[in-house]
Amino acid sequence: MKRATKMAMSALLLASFTAGDIYAATEWNVSLWGKRRAFTENVEKLAELVAAKTNGDFKLNISYGGLSKARENLDGISIGAFEMAQFCSFYHTAKNPTITVTELPFSRDVSLGHIAEIYTEVFKHPIVINDLARWNATLLMPTPMPQYNIVSKSDPITKLSDFQGLRVRGPGGIMGVLGKLGAVKTGVPFSEVRQSMDSGVIDAASFAPHAHLATNSYKVGKWATTNLNLGSANCPVVVNTDALQALAPAHREALLGSVDEALAFYVKNYEENTTARYQAAIAEEGLTLVTFTPEQTAELKALAESVRKEWIESYSKEFDAQQLFDFTVGLFEQ
């Protein structure tokens, strides 16, 4: 009897270990930077949804700067230092040239929801998938941002030639156009933007609303553009491909099945809260609003066209840049 009881207990214990192996809790480390803000709400919401759908068995541990520097997040993903990260393509264009196509100045005022759709489709393109595969990375979801606008501490501009010599912190597509007007692309860390404007290292910053709020650029600015419409940055969320493939099916389904909901939350939160707060902030600080005339806008569009052609020529030997560009243009025109 004792022998039968002992055997039964052993079988029960073995079964519990087996079940534990199958349904073992999984934790992923997620590398972000700065602090929680509108820009990171897609990841925060994703973590919330995944935990809820798996009853806490799959947890995304979000770190703001504790795992890696922002410009090294893609490198960390490639070696498996962490399982998920966010990065901006203009931080290191040579590492991810294909997704810089979305940062080109398309001279369109596009809704945030449509930006999310465009970036999602671009991420599915075989040329882009192969590019990120070099880093053992799978693009999980975009971080859509509105058209960038400039806040500057210089005297308000009245004509496009006033950009001559203006030192601007901004992404490639926008700076490609402004550079043709004589602006000087000046790189400073995100966390040092306000300090750099205060000290005169830069004269202006080109950001989406959340970043102007996060850096407090508007508190030292004198003017802000309202309709630059030369694009924004592409700052995707990526996962380590091996880690994604190693997930239990239920966990993988919870992760991938939560992306659309996380994006929808992000877009709604940004549109209803962040943009309004930014507009109120620059009004309260008394910044002069600079709105480009139709003639100035036409000149900016002509310069944007040349920047797009230069992008195709620059990358044509690395991948089929024309095909990827045409594909992306078609998405913007829908």
Strand (E) or helix (H) holding 250: helix 249-256
CB 170 within 8 A of CB 205: yes
Phi, psi of 295 (to 5 degrees): -70, -40
- pLDDT score of 322 more than 90: yes
| pLDDT tens digits for range 148-157 | 999 999 999 9
More confident residue, 85 or 231: 85
| pLDDT tens digits for range 58-99 | 999 999 999 999 999 999 999 999 999 999 999 999 999 999
DSSP H helices, 124-162, are 126-133
Distance CA 233, CA 223 (A): 21
Task: Tell me whether strands 237-240 and 84-86 are parallel, antiparallel or unpaired.
Answer: antiparallel
Query: pLDDT band for position 20 (50/70/90)?
Result: very low
Query: pLDDT band for position 21 (50/70/90)?
Result: very low
What is the edge-to-edge ordering of all strands in the sheet holding 288-290? 184-185, 167-169, 204-207, 149-152, 223-225, 288-290
Report all structural domains of the chain as residue ranges with CATH numbers, in order of start.
Answer: 26-143+235-274 (3.40.190.170), 149-232+275-333 (3.40.190.170)
pLDDT value at position 12? 40
Burial (Cβ within 10 Å: 0-12, 13-18, ≥19) of residue 133: exposed
Closest of 271, 303, 282, 144 to residue 223, by C-alpha: 282
| pLDDT tens digits for range 235-259 | 999 999 999 999 999 999 999 999 9
User: Can you give the pTM of this predicted structure?
Assistant: 0.86
Query: pLDDT band for position 272 (50/70/90)?
Result: very high
The token pair at 22 is 């199958």
Distance CA 25, CA 56 (A): 8
Side chain identity, residue 188: V
